Amino acid sequence: MSKMLLAGVVSLLAASTSVLAVDSVTAVDWQTDVLFLPSLNWKSTVDSPCGTPDYYTSTVNSTVIVPFIGNKVVVDGMQNNASGVLLVAVDDEEPFTQNLFSEDVRCGNLFTYELGNGTHTMSLTLRGATVTGNEGNTTQPVLHLTSITYYVPLADNSESSAGTETATSVPTISPSRKVHVDAIVGAVVGCVVGVILLGGVIFFVHRRRTKGSRHVFDPRANSTANTTEISSRSLATPGAATKLPPYARMEDDYDDKKPQLDVPSLRYTPSSDGLRARSRSPMPDRKSMP
């Protein structure tokens, strides 16, 4: 039983430490973490076809600036027949364009960008209508954004972010939306401490059980000894060594200290005439004994 509990503790400890290998995922807060330029060109709605809040613009050259920390960023949005061309620029890397035109309404990932772990700045700009899609239509091209998330590897978060931080000036990220590394590390440390305490309790209980099994009281041993003693006494002859030592000593003392009185033997003397004379009652004549 103790081996099974110990195996469970080891597996729980391994599962808790494996959390460190999982990346921390943080969603950008549209109210505090994003800079809309110009702000008047952007609108938002909570009743979008994707079922999520939608931030959109139909003005060409409208830009969103998003600072983030980590080694990967994922941008989601909505695509339709009015979607235009998106220009993406991250730090000082070469910008690239993404054609968002779609005949049908599609909700999901627009693109995923992977790079070195650190602090980065990303800008998203609506460039215009697509050449093969909506160019020539009277409808203005539209850019719909629903969510932006970034990933931070917890294993080398502090080292990589310090080594790859760029010199680009970025807006300050709201403290409420920073990566919750401290909370995750605290949870892992608490789990490890709990596992250690549980292992200590199991070890203490197992040790007490093992120690107690060495001094088990067996009533049959005492009963056998008493039976043997009573049988030996009952089969012995009375007056012998079956008596208890104190009583045996008392009996010996009694035999040794028995008073011995030396009583002198009295001679028989026949009565004289004088005694008969003093007696008032006449005595008959007796013949002399042969």
Q: Is the pLDDT of residue 290 over 70?
A: no
The verdict on residue 179 lying in a domain is: no
Share of the chain above pLDDT 70, in %: 51
Q: What is the pLDDT of residues 120-133, one digit of tens each?
A: 999 999 998 876 65
**Separation between Cα atoms, residue 44 and residue 124, nearest integer Å:** 16
Q: Which residue has the higher pLDDT, 136 or 34?
A: 34
How much is the average pLDDT of 74-93? 95
The verdict on residue 117 lying in a domain is: yes
The verdict on residue 71 lying in a domain is: yes
* Total tally of structural domains belonging to the chain: 1
Residue pair 64/34 in contact by the 8 Å Cβ criterion: yes
pTM of the model: 0.49
- Residue 193 pLDDT grade (very low, low, confident, very high; cuts 50, 70, 90): confident
How much is the average pLDDT of 262-285? 56
Residue 3: predicted pLDDT: 54
- Residue 75 pLDDT grade (very low, low, confident, very high; cuts 50, 70, 90): very high
Q: Is the pLDDT of residue 117 over 60?
A: yes
**Separation between Cα atoms, residue 12 and residue 15, nearest integer Å:** 5
Residue 185: predicted pLDDT: 65
Tell me, what CATH number does 105's domain have? 2.60.120.260
The verdict on residue 118 lying in a domain is: yes
The verdict on residue 284 lying in a domain is: no
How much is the average pLDDT of 75-100? 94
Environment class of residue 151 by beta-carbon count within 10 Å: exposed (0-12), middle (13-18) or buried (19+)? Answer: buried
- Residue 262 pLDDT grade (very low, low, confident, very high; cuts 50, 70, 90): low
If you average pLDDT over every residue of the chain, what do you get? Answer: 72
Full residue range of the structural domain in which residue 162 is found: 25-174
The verdict on residue 16 lying in a domain is: no
**Separation between Cα atoms, residue 51 and residue 265, nearest integer Å:** 142
Q: Is the pLDDT of residue 145 over 90?
A: yes
The verdict on residue 106 lying in a domain is: yes
Q: Residues in the chain, how many?
A: 290
The verdict on residue 138 lying in a domain is: yes
Of 38-47, 138-147, 174-183, 239-248, least confident by mean pLDDT is 174-183
Nearest CA-CA partner of 145 in 110, 197, 116, 189: 110
- Residue 168 pLDDT grade (very low, low, confident, very high; cuts 50, 70, 90): very low
Q: Is the pLDDT of residue 241 over 80?
A: no
Residue 192: predicted pLDDT: 81
260 alpha-carbon distance from chain centroid: 90
Q: Is the pLDDT of residue 209 over 50?
A: yes
